[in-house]
Amino acid sequence: MNGDSSIISLSKILVGRDDTWRWSVPDQEGEELVERAEPGPEMEIVHLLRAVAVDLGRHSTRFAQRNGMHPTDVRALIALMDAARAGEKTTAGHLGTALGLNSAGTTALVDRLERAGHVRRVRDARDRRKVTIEVDERAVALGWSHFGPLIDRAVDLLRGYDERELAAVRGFLTGMRKAAV
């Protein structure tokens, strides 16, 4: 361990016979503190969330493999499309920060995506020094061919919820996103 008490050693997570989760976390002096989460509907949802995350990761990996892409390429395209949907333009620097890549890694990534025809570099009309990265329509169509049925299924499931239930789902997922970063 590096002394950071926020890091949990995955090798030390145990599930008891009663489905109680126990794990140890070192405190600042290196002493092991035992935490536990009781079984119940909350833990069932936590297990389901973990399973969904694993399944979505596999789905994304299949897309990457079938299209000769690295998983980071897929994450980059998703980040770029999310930014575009929010009305934001993305520079290579912003993309690298979002993906946790250094400058050289980001340049290699954008070069690779550009060579494959998935993105294009666009100079800003007002400041020609500024270059943003845009996803090509062909990459969007390629992604939709793979992820579209999954998105359609998610939308169909969500249409079965009323506004209050949708607010609860939205609140939970928003909270989990904040907890994960």
Polymer length of the chain: 181
Decide: 76 and 83 in contact? Cβ < 8 Å: no
* Calpha distance 158→168 (Å, rounded): 12
Decide: 98 and 78 in contact? Cβ < 8 Å: no
* Calpha distance 20→48 (Å, rounded): 16
Strands of the sheet containing 131-135, edge to edge, are 90-91, 131-135, 119-123
Q: Which residue, chain included where needed, has tokens 């996803």?
A: 135
Domains, the chain: 1-39 (no CATH), 70-135 (1.10.10.10)
pLDDT of residue 18: 56
* Calpha distance 70→82 (Å, rounded): 19
| Percent of the chain with pLDDT strictly greater than 90 | 70
Q: What share of the chain is helix, strand, coil (3-state, %, to 5)?
A: 60, 15, 30
pLDDT of residue 11: 45
Count CA within 13 A, CB hemisphere, residue 38.
Answer: 2
Q: Which residues contact 85 (CB under 8 A, 6 or more apart)?
A: none
* Calpha distance 77→147 (Å, rounded): 13
pTM: 0.75
- pLDDT of 2 strictly over 70: no
Interval 89-115: pLDDT, tens: 999 999 999 999 999 999 999 999 999
* Calpha distance 74→80 (Å, rounded): 10
pLDDT of residue 12: 47
